[in-house]
Chain A
């Protein structure tokens, strides 16, 4: 057993878990259960990032998707009247249309991804987070600043709304 086989075991556990969680999001009859399965799914994506040694991205994934996005989903669903109904995530009869779209998407993905040769970067540098920061404040300063200003505006907006009341 070397490090690579541990990574392989972890990857397959995560991969199977992710497929199951993603299926549960669609298939579970209660919408809250779907949202909770989505939390599980996002968490496992963070696990994939950890396997790729991208710890920073993994932490950000958990903060944004688990801590903010799905919490917002849960919040919104819990404020609705029907959140306790057993059929709040109903299935419909559009399975033919859905199957066509899904098969088309699968075919496209297989066709493009199968011909792709994936570059492997080799060893991940130990100070990857530092390098990421230097890239964001160096070559990619413009998109970084635009995103920062957008978030700042949103935050100031929240303060303004809080002040009015």
Chain B
């Protein structure tokens, strides 16, 4: 039994254990500060490799799923079932010429990709893959997400303006207006969850859901969060800023090769981060549903999968909803877009906040 526990402990904490092992090894022959630097570089490389693989898998699954919904086959030629298609795509994008338009502002044009990608990577610092697998358990975790994701608006505007192209500028303007409007209901929907958990830290929020997932207590907040987040991600049905039939491809119309690939990467990284945060805030994060339901009836059920596997499973299922929306809904019009944010989502989020406050107060009065 002890051996079994040791194995399951190793599997659930595989990354922290490996990290400590490597740091211990390096400490034998390197000074402390150099070990720290080497370990940081190793951690960042592991994370970047992981992020790239996740994005590649997301693009492939998206194309296959959308194809299935539209009664097509999708990419299925490169490798078995097309699993190597993303590799081929990446090679193609890297081999293409990196074009800078003659009238573009070269500095702003080049820096825009960086300003888009770095916030998308930084968001992952607060995502709790399991109790011990979080890069930085900040006391302001959720607020950090809001802050960092608001930076990407600057990147959008830089790309749109820097290209010196009217379609790119129009796309960037639409995107910026959309992201700013939808940020307000998004933040209001997060406050409800933070109030229930009594903390902004992502780890604390997951631990507060050991008995009941917040999706049961905050369904309206989840609806508002997911809708607003879809709009912030500029995904269908809110992809007005890259509406092909109206403004070609929006803010990244002039970009080619590696820079286009980086925009693509940022977009999918943001999408996965939003799904991961929805998992954290509403679906119990890394907690096993088997264990949680077992606890209601006093049974002692095993968690079945390691915590990070549950986290991934839930996040991919939530990301699937984004595919599903794309396969189902037509694009909204620009006037409907602002109306939805200000007239539907914001009042809903405010009402949810008021109800949550009253409910929380009544709960405290009853229990004390």
Which residues of A approach B to under 8 Å, CB–CB? 1, 30, 32-33, 36, 39, 43, 55-56, 58-60, 62-63, 66-68, 70-71, 74-75, 78-79, 83-84, 126-129, 155, 158-159, 162-163, 165
Judged by DSSP, the binding face of B is helix
Q: Which single member of A55, A63, A127 contacts B146 (CB below 8 Å)? A: A63
Residues of A within 8 A of B138 (CB): 55
Q: Does B125 belong to the interface (CB within 8 Å)? A: no
B239 to A: closest C-beta gap in Å? 20
Q: Which residue of the partner chain B has the closest CB to A86?
A: B105
| CA gap between A158 and B338 in the complex, in Å | 11
Residues of B within 8 A of A129 (CB): 139-140, 200
Contacting chain A: which of B4-12, B69-77, B149-157, B213-221?
A: B149-157
Q: For the complex, count residues of B whose C-beta is within 8 A of A.
A: 37
On whether the beta carbons of B176 and A75 are closer than 8 Å, the reply is yes
On whether the beta carbons of B150 and A66 are closer than 8 Å, the reply is yes
In the complex, per-residue mask of B337-360: 1 if CB is within 8 Å of any chain A CB, else 0:
011001100110000000000000
B105 to A: closest C-beta gap in Å? 8
| CA gap between A71 and B150 in the complex, in Å | 10
On whether the beta carbons of A159 and B139 are closer than 8 Å, the reply is no
Residues of B within 8 A of A68 (CB): 150, 180
In the complex, per-residue mask of B115-159: 1 if CB is within 8 Å of any chain A CB, else 0:
000000000000000000000001110011011101101100110
In the complex, per-residue mask of B166-179: 1 if CB is within 8 Å of any chain A CB, else 0:
00010011001100
On whether the beta carbons of A71 and B346 are closer than 8 Å, the reply is no
Q: Does B164 belong to the interface (CB within 8 Å)? A: yes
Given contacts A63-B146, A67-B147, A71-B176, contact A32 B161 (CB under 8 A): yes
A81 to B: closest C-beta gap in Å? 12
Q: Does B61 belong to the interface (CB within 8 Å)? A: no
On whether the beta carbons of A67 and B143 are closer than 8 Å, the reply is no
Residues of A within 8 A of B150 (CB): 62-63, 66-68
